[in-house]
Structures are given as structure tokens and as C-alpha cells.
Amino acid sequence: MNINLLPKLDFARHCKEKQWIVLFWPNNFYEEWRQHGVAGGSLRDADPTPPEKLLQQIWLHQRIHRDGITTIDGQSVRILHPGFWNHEAGPDFRNAIVQFGNDPPRVGSVEIDLSPSFWQSHGHESNPRYRDVILHVVWQGSKPTQGRATLLLKPLLDAPLEELALWFAAEELPGPQASIGKCSAPLRNLKGESITELLRQAAQVRLHRKATQLQARARETGWEQALWEFALSALGYKHNRWPMRRLAELNPWLSGNSKNPQSLEARLLGLGNLLPRESKAGSVHLHLRELWDVWWREADAVRSLILPRESWCMAGLRPVNQPVRRLALAAGWLAEGRMIPRLERWLEQSLPDEALPRTLEAAFAVAPHPFWQSHWTFRSSIQGTPQPMLGLTRATDLAINVVLPWLWMRAVASQNDSLRRVAEHRYFAWPASQDNATLKLARLRLLGETKSALFKTSSAQQGLLQIAQDFCNHSNALCEGCPFPELVQAWQVRLSGGVQSVDRSITPL
């Protein structure tokens, strides 16, 4: 499947979120539950004036056209980091990193409002908490806010507002709530296969959400660049997604004509401001000197693109997750430049389910790196045995969050039904990811237990997360107003009356 021969995305573009789910999974009752449950509320609220929370979510996830944007008065602006959502008094986002024109990047707050006039009418002007606001993001308006750079959000959206409203209705989990939820009793009354089916349908919704986000970016930058940006972002984990994404956005400059992995590593680490200036003698010193030999020649020409150190959050990061290590892997991918054909070959190969993680890890493998295979970081001592650059756990994260949604959506866009089914089969057959606190909490609340026996596949885990996000996020620790228990009960009655709708559209290989 040659990427350049793919038909344009018109087919995919004109299908709305719900229509797609109906198209590929006609019996997905879980999507109906979402639409009629709390998740649908945001959608209805979205028109004609979107709630500010929705605008904040759009900003947080940067569901906007990020390239070539300008403020209302025509100044170019790059969002290097959208900032951290502030749920206390004061501006909506703290510690954002924004670059105006070719000026050095600025760190400060971002305030989101419906209109520039809110700056005065909400009293931000005279409130000292808002003094460090460097960007006022407004839904609509024609004049900039006095004394603040002002960005219009409405024309920048990367998808229709109602589609984004439904997408965000399922974002973020609530804070830690250890109590068992009201739905746990009706869920425990269901037979094992019914719970499996429910999780599967919720996982279909989740696959679709990730795929539509990738597709929105692919409309702007192409499929290859969208894959690259989301893969690097996923390698940034929770805290370093944005600097990794920003470096991925610099790909056209990064790659240039060079296929030399060392030059590419120097550029990635140099642009990321992650090259230490000093080192002890020995292998670290030697490797750093080679990287600096490249970077000092190039740095001046791209000084305005270098990320500030504040972009990165290194506190509490395990050595294996350090961005320097992941960027060295990314340099290998760029140098070898055969990522898309490799993934295509991987999808087209006939593989047993148990071989999926190992074979995907192999598809992502690069030539052994003389320095990074024996060092975790620039500070660590030499390791006795070669260290993997990716590993099976990260390969699984990439598969579930990026690779399979990307392959699935590309097959949809090219109307290649057999490859779509293979991507779907692999998504549902993928072995379970590493357990974590979020999954444990969701299991406890919804099923009243923390054992993971039901969750042998990643898709079951994804389905559980989707339900928790769709319903728990719109309720509280006491499950007040949550329609999920009633929906489960009604479904149970239908099942016991013999009315069962089960999607059999996934063909085993």
C-alpha cells in the first residue's frame, strides 16, 4: 500500500463520528449509551456557544491547526507547550510556552474566554493573578484584547465543534475515588461473556476516537507526519508529550538531506535543549563530543526553534523513560526512513496473535546504537548487557494508542476493507498492557474488585477506561446522576429475554 497512491480523505472526511461507528460496528449499543447518557450532554451544549470547559479541553489537547497561526493583529505564534490546566482561581493554563515571531519563547499563563471583552468584564485586567498572561485565547471576536496577544480559536479547530464535543466528553478520569460504584452490582449480575461484549464495544469506541484524532492531523500534514508526531508524543509519556510533539513537528527541517543517525540525534537533542555541555571523561564524554561537533555548526541558524529547558519535566522519570533515550531511537527511525513500509509489511504479514508485540517491536528496531545500548542516560554508568531502545511494554503502548488506530484509519480512508479488518483484529487480540493505578481504580469502582483476570487483552483494558471516562467523569464519588447502572440493568433484562445484539464483524485471521 503506497502512501502516495492513497485516495484523498473525502470519504472519511464526510463521515461523522457516530455514522462511522454505525458503519463498521452496526450493533454497537455502547455508542448509543454514550450518546444518550451524560456524554451526549456536552454535544448538545456545544451549539451555538460552546462552554468554556470545552474550549479549555480543545486548548489542552491542541485540537487546532497548529501550523502558521497568527494572533488577531497578525503576529505569528507557535504553541510550544499549551501549559498545565489550572483548576484553581486564576488563568486557565499555567506555565505555557509560546513563541511570537522569532523572539525567544516565553513562559507564562494562557486565559481562555469566549470573547476579548471578557478580559475587562471578568476583571482580569486589574487582577494580579492574570499579570503573567501571555496569550488570551478567545472563541470569537474581531479586535485584540488590550495589552495582550489574542488568538482566535474558532477558525483553528481541526474538526467540527460537535465532533470535538463528543470526543472530549470522554476525556480525563476523575480524581482518586476508592469507593465501589453503583454500577458494580448490575455489572456483576451479568454473565462473563456479556461483560466481555460490553468492554469490546466500548473499546471499539475508543479505537475510533484515537483514529479520528490521527485523521484530523493527517488532513493537515499527511499520514506519515501524523504518525511521526503521535508516535513521538506517545514516547513522551504523561509529562513530556508536548516537547516531543513539538520536535516531531520540526521534522521537515530535522530530516533535511541527512540520513546520518548521529547528525539527526544531535539535531533532535540540540533542538530539544537536551545536550549537556559538560561531561566526565570516558564514553559519555566521547559521545557528547561527537554530538556537539555536529550541533555547534547548526545551532545558530535555528536558535529561534530551540525549546526552552522549562518545556521538559524530568522529575521522577525512570532512566528508561528519559527523553534523550527516546530521541536517540527517533533519530534511528529518521535515519533508516522505512517506517511506513515496515508497518505496512507488518500489517500484511500473517502472524499468530501471540507474536504481535514481539514482531511490532522488531518492526520498530533500529541498528544497535553504540552508546545508548550500553547507557540509560548521559549520567548513567555503562551497563553490562545491551539495553533495548523500545521494549515490549512501550511497543504495546505504541500499538494500542498510535499504530493500530493509524493503520485502521488509513485503511478506512483508502477503503481497504481487508486491511481494516486485520488492524481491527490485532487491536482486539493484543495482549494486556502493564497494569497501572488508573486501571486498578476503574476495576474497583465498576466491578468491585481489583483483580485483572477479566482483562487478558489490551482492548478489554481500553474498554474499561472508556466506560470510566464516559460515565465516572460526569458523576462524583457517590455516582450521583450517573445513568450507567440503569443502562446496564435494562440491557440485562433484554439479554435475559433473549434480545441480544452482538457485533460479529471482526473476522478472525
Q: What residues line the site for ligand SF4 (CB under 6 A)?
A: 181-183, 445-446, 471-472, 475, 479, 482, 484-485
The alpha carbons of the chain give a radius of gyration, in whole angstroms, of 24
Inter-helix orientation angle 161-168/52-60, to 10°: 80
Smallest separation, CB 462 to ligand SF4 (Å):
16
Smallest separation, CB 449 to ligand SF4 (Å):
13
CA distance 109 to 209: 29
Q: Give me the numbers of helices (H) and strands (E) for the chain, helices first please.
A: 23, 6
373 exposure class (CB count in 10 Å sphere: 0-12, 13-18, 19+): middle
Place of cell 475510533: 208
Smallest separation, CB 394 to ligand SF4 (Å):
30
Q: Is 266 or 472 the residue whose CB approaches ligand SF4 more closely?
A: 472
Q: Is 99 or 466 the residue whose CB approaches ligand SF4 more closely?
A: 466
The answer to whether 277 and 346 have CB atoms below 8 angstroms apart is no
Buried b (16+ CB within 10 A) or exposed e, 107-121: bbbbbbbbebebbee
Nearest residue to ligand SF4 by CB is: 181
Task: Give me the amino acid identity at 185.
Answer: A
Q: Is 95 or 438 the residue whose CB approaches ligand SF4 more closely?
A: 438
CA distance 193 to 100: 55
Smallest separation, CB 255 to ligand SF4 (Å):
46
Smallest separation, CB 478 to ligand SF4 (Å):
8
The DSSP call for residue 399 is I
Inter-helix orientation angle 192-221/404-413, to 10°: 70
CA distance 122 to 141: 16
Smallest separation, CB 182 to ligand SF4 (Å):
4
Q: Is 435 or 486 the residue whose CB approaches ligand SF4 more closely?
A: 486
Q: Is 41 or 319 the residue whose CB approaches ligand SF4 more closely?
A: 41
Smallest separation, CB 34 to ligand SF4 (Å):
12
Q: Is 185 or 362 the residue whose CB approaches ligand SF4 more closely?
A: 185
- Which cell numbers in the block locate residue 336? 533508516
> What string of DSSP letters covers 449-488?
----TT--BHHHHHHHHHHHHHHGGGS-TT-TT--HHHHH
Smallest separation, CB 479 to ligand SF4 (Å):
3
Task: Give me the amino acid identity at 16.
Answer: K
- Which cell numbers in the block locate residue 2? 503506497
Would you call the peptide bond into 48 cis, given omega within 30 degrees of 0 as the criterion? yes
Smallest separation, CB 472 to ligand SF4 (Å):
3
CA distance 269 to 292: 10
Q: Is 116 or 181 the residue whose CB approaches ligand SF4 more closely?
A: 181
Task: Give me the amino acid identity at 308.
Answer: P
Smallest separation, CB 183 to ligand SF4 (Å):
3
Smallest separation, CB 198 to ligand SF4 (Å):
12
Q: Is 39 or 446 the residue whose CB approaches ligand SF4 more closely?
A: 446
CA distance 32 to 45: 18
Q: Is 43 or 446 the residue whose CB approaches ligand SF4 more closely?
A: 446
Q: Is 202 or 313 the residue whose CB approaches ligand SF4 more closely?
A: 202
Q: Is 363 or 446 the residue whose CB approaches ligand SF4 more closely?
A: 446
The answer to whether 405 and 207 have CB atoms below 8 angstroms apart is yes
The answer to whether 202 and 466 have CB atoms below 8 angstroms apart is yes
Instruction: For Cα atoms 236, 239, 244, give the angle at the middle one, nearest 5 degrees.
Output: 35
